[in-house]
Amino acid sequence: MTATGPVHGTWEPAPAARWEDAFLGGNGRHGVLVFGDPNDDRVIVTQHRLVRPNGGEHARPPRLAAELADVQDRLLAGESDAAERFTDGRPLQWVQPFHPAFHIRLRRPRGRTDGYRRSVDFTTGEVTATTADWTSRVFVSRADDVIVQQVTGTAGLALDIALDHRLPGAPHDLGIGQGTLRTPEGALLSLRARYPGSDRAYTGVTLVAVTGGTTELAPPALRVTGADAVLLLTRVRPHTGELDVTAEARALGALLADERPYDSLLDRHLALHRSAYRRVVLDLAADPAERTLPGSELLDRPHSAALMERLFAAGRYHLLSAAGLNPPRLTGLWTGEWDTAWSGAFTNDANVNLQTASAAAAALPEVTEACATLIERQLDDWRENARAVFGARGVVAPAHSDGESGLSYHFSREYPLHLWTAGADWLLKPLVDHDEIRGERDPRTADALAEVAAFYEDFLSRTDADGHLVIVPSYSPENRPANGSWGAVNAAMDLSAARHALRTAADYHPGPDADRWRALADRLPPHRVNADGALAEWAWPGLDDTYDHRHLSHLYGVWPLDEITPYDTPELAAAAHRALELRGAENDSAHGHLHHALIAARLRDGERVAAALGHVLDGDFFHPSLMSAHYPRRDVYNADAAHTLPAVLVEALVQSTPNRLVLLPAPPGALRTGRLHGVRTRFGAELDLSWAPDGARAVLKPSRTLRIDLWTSSGAQPLDLVAGEDHVLTLGTW
């Protein structure tokens, strides 16, 4: 058997032995990790809102506004460690940690395992496991917000079904209540878990509908014998007080009205999922035989084009599956244990934006909408951050969030994250990109940008000897000057973010406010080039760079912004490239390597893109599930590499601004031949690109009439586009 095109899924010849290897599904609210064991199957259930109380639910931002002027005076006077005392002395408080709900466990008498195959279909979201006499199919409905599992067999199914909260790290004093009962809709399993010392709880409800055979209540389990098929519908509800499980059963029972409920539920789900997934396809003309390999075997061929195709497809699938109520967490929407690294937080100072970097160009507006929804829910908290810490109007985003709170309370002396003021611009940038693609401005984005601008109007009150505004205190996540402290002056990221936020807010709000905001942006100082010829991480004279660090915050002006480009600011771009050359990988974090690759692509350095990708592909960062790890050798489950890799490949092949298209700016060696279908550009055109060493062809399908600059390896030329008319470009060797 050979594959004639990219494979939109992956498979394994054995069940998952570890939860990290389980295949994944999700609808942006509920998630599943499916083991696919025919004799003892487990489906771990997650839900984006499940966070364990740890004190963070009561934490507030530090009230430091009255001390701001003093710390500014001392920093500007040369007291480099002054910001270390700009705190209320609290210990580090982590945000509430994300955790799994429980696993659905299906045991059967030991049956046949010959012909075993476990697979996930990215186009449908179905995770399937089969043997000669047994089939399990699982998906999470994007239309009905329900986990659907159907088990069928050829010789009469015998199953014991239970909901089991006992997963690694589960608190021993978790208050558990379980129930089994018959309802008019079918047999019902429920599991309620109350957090220790809290009135908060969550309840999972599974409705079991059996075709043929018999069911017997065997608390806390359900026993099925002689069945032709078993259908399970599951939801999880976080709540306080009690939850009416019979009402939940009725709601689930309403989904069984059709004669073939699994197929009906799947059809409604596919109308949303399949169309989203299919918008963009990457074909690297990979070896047909390699395309058919199981994921685990393909991962042993890190330089294979087939692996790159599959990781691109898996990255978009997992990103879409993780985004809905929220964008992806550090672990996406999944975890199999309660001790989730770094609380499984939304880490805003790098990881959220890296993971969602492909959403605009790779045509996943569902992901952008998840980001917008989270921001909208948290704006009141962002306002409190601005008032409490800086005594300012407007908004300041936190560096960490559990999804429930947007308050800035996670900080310490070594990580003074409460000083970081660039977060709101960083998080709003994907929303601005989305507006550029569709040619309309979302009022929510416009309102949030105005609040960011209002913050800078109040905060930017200090000037230097040349009359430039000064950002003080200033923080470059998560680094410090070699000869200074964490809280410093004029971090490059803060300067870029302030300029971009003020000018973008002005674009969204023409009038007197816009004039005032642009004037404020124009008073910010330029970037500084240090003695090494590199763009300095701090523009304040006398602050030396610390090069060996996983974050590349100072190159925010290169990516994701367009402030520093080889086309408009070649000298600054050269300094940024020098800064990239000097940057170390520190602890080999996946996000550091791929952040490096994104910046290298913007600077047209294909060799550096290839090297950064190579660190990840050669470093054993990917599990057989094609979800990734934070460190090499699959250490610490983390979605950064999985979700960011598609963005790197797109940026290496196509880049756009509202008035520029760059084709094939930095393709690494593994991408010498291929086709990229369906990419969106920020000037409102869909793009299909095919390329080979002897030439390339692009088809632009614009929705707007305008003139842009086309950049290729041959230089620039103007390009006139007419809405509704395809424009074909043929390039020579590149």
Q: What is the pLDDT of residues 395-432, one digit of tens each?
A: 999 999 999 999 999 999 999 999 999 999 999 999 99
Q: Could you say which DSSP state residue 8 is in?
A: S
Cα→Cα distances 238→181, 224, 581, 587, Å = 21, 29, 48, 37
For residue range 487-518, list pLDDT tens digits in order. Answer: 999 999 999 999 999 999 999 999 999 999 99
Tokens found for residue 162: 């239970």
Q: Are strands 346-347 and 400-401 parallel, antiparallel or unpaired?
A: antiparallel
Quickly tell me which residue has 């009135």 as its tokens: 199
Dist. CA 71–CA 81, nearest whole Å: 10
Note the pLDDT of residue 155: 80
Looking at the domain covering 56-93+323-584, what would its CATH class be? mainly alpha
What pLDDT is recorded for position 4? 79
Between vectors from CA 703 to CA 701 and to CA 704, what angle results, nearest 5°?
120
Query: How many whole angstroms separate alpha carbon 590 and alpha carbon 211?
Result: 47
> What is the structure's pLDDT at 418?
98
Segment 349-365, tens digit of pLDDT: 999 999 999 999 999 99
Q: What is the pLDDT of residues 565-592, one digit of tens each?
A: 999 999 999 999 999 999 999 999 999 9
Number of alpha carbons in the 13 Å side-chain half-sphere of residue 406: 22
Q: Which two tokens stand for residue 541?
A: 């004279």
Nearest of 550, 536, 555, 547 to residue 422 by alpha carbon = 555
What's the CA gap between 429 and 356, in Å, rounded? 11
Q: Is 203 helix (H, G, I), strand (E, B) or coil?
A: strand
Q: At 401, which amino acid appears? A: S
Strands 23-26 and 134-140: unpaired
Nearest to 677 by CA among 316, 282, 286: 282
Longest dimension (CA), the chain: 85
The answer on pLDDT for 2 being more than 60 is no
Cα 640 to Cα 100, 333, 356, 645: the distances in Å are 19, 12, 9, 8
Q: Where are the domains positioned within the chain? A: 9-51+99-278, 56-93+323-584
In the block, which residue shows the tokens 């299909």?
688
* pLDDT score at 332: 98
Of 651, 669, 648, 614, the C-alpha closest to 315 is 648
The pLDDT of residue 734 is 58
Closest CA to 345 of 416, 389, 276, 398: 398
Question: Which strand (E) or helix (H) includes residue 316?
Answer: helix 305-322
Band (pLDDT 50/70/90 cuts) for residue 1 is: very low
Record the tokens describing residue 230, joined without a space. Answer: 């078993």
pLDDT of residue 672: 87
Residue 185, pLDDT above cutoff 90: no
The fraction of the chain above a pLDDT of 90, given in percent, is 95
Long-range contacts of 181-186 (CB under 8 A, 24+ apart): 181/217, 182/217, 183/207, 183/246, 183/249, 183/250, 183/253, 184/253, 185/209, 185/249, 185/250, 185/252, 185/253, 185/256, 186/210, 186/249, 186/253, 186/256
Q: Which of 20-24, 111-115, 699-703 has the lowest mean pLDDT?
A: 111-115
Rounded to whole angstroms, how far apart are CA atoms 698 and 728?
A: 6
Q: What is the pLDDT of residues 303-329, one digit of tens each?
A: 999 999 999 999 999 999 999 999 999
Distance CA 122, CA 119 (A): 10
Reduced to 3 states (helix: H, G, I; strand: E, B; else coil), residue 494 is helix
Output the average pLDDT for the chain. 96
Rounded Cα gap, residues 71 and 88, in angstroms: 13
Cβ atoms of 185 and 250 within 8 Å: the answer is yes
Distance in Å from the first CA to the final CA of the chain: 35
Which helix (H) or strand (E) segment is 261 a member of?
helix 261-277
Given a cut of 70, whether residue 690 has pLDDT beyond it is yes
Q: Is the peptide bond before 100 cis (omega within 30 degrees of 0)?
A: no
3-state DSSP assignment of residue 409: coil
Secondary structure of residue 548 in the 3-state scheme? strand
Residue 47 CA to residue 374 CA, distance in Å, equals: 15
Task: Enter the CATH code of domain 9-51+99-278.
Answer: 2.70.98.50
**Span 614-634, mean pLDDT?**
98
